[in-house]
Amino acid sequence: MCWVSGQLSTEEGRFVPGTAREEAARSFANVEAILAAAGFGLAEIVYVDVAFTNLARDLPDLNDLFAEIFPPPDRPARTIYEASALPFGGLIKVQAVAVRA
């Protein structure tokens, strides 16, 4: 198993602000890089946890991105919730769990 804790929209250790979709894409890219370093891939993710600062506004963008990253039929389970604030003023934070069969 590989547990990837909260990833924000960062590049080279610095926060990069953007739209919710841009921040989510960077966050998932960070998850993918951490998984790759541990010998895992996105296809091995079984659970994703996503925090938003504005769930109503940003969920449609995440749903579109999620469908691109995880095409059916093997989408991971996910928990989505709204947080009052995220570090550095981020809009989205992503955590994931990957399992090798």
The structural domains of the chain, ordered by start, are 2-98 (3.30.1330.40)
Q: What's this model's pTM, rounded to 2 decimal places?
A: 0.94
- The reported pLDDT for the residue numbered 101 is 80
- The reported pLDDT for the residue numbered 74 is 83
- The reported pLDDT for the residue numbered 77 is 97
Q: Do 82 and 53 touch, CB atoms closer than 8 A?
A: yes
Helix, strand and coil in the chain, % to nearest 5: 40, 30, 30
Tell which phi-psi region holds residue 12, choosing left (phi > 0), alpha (psi between -120 and 50) or beta. Answer: left
- The low-confidence residues of the chain, meaning pLDDT below 50, are none
- Strands (E) in 1-101, as ranges, are 2-7, 10-11, 14-15, 45-52, 77-82, 92-98
- The reported pLDDT for the residue numbered 100 is 92
Distance, in Å, from the CA atom of 64 to the CA atom of 101, rounded to the nearest integer, reads: 27
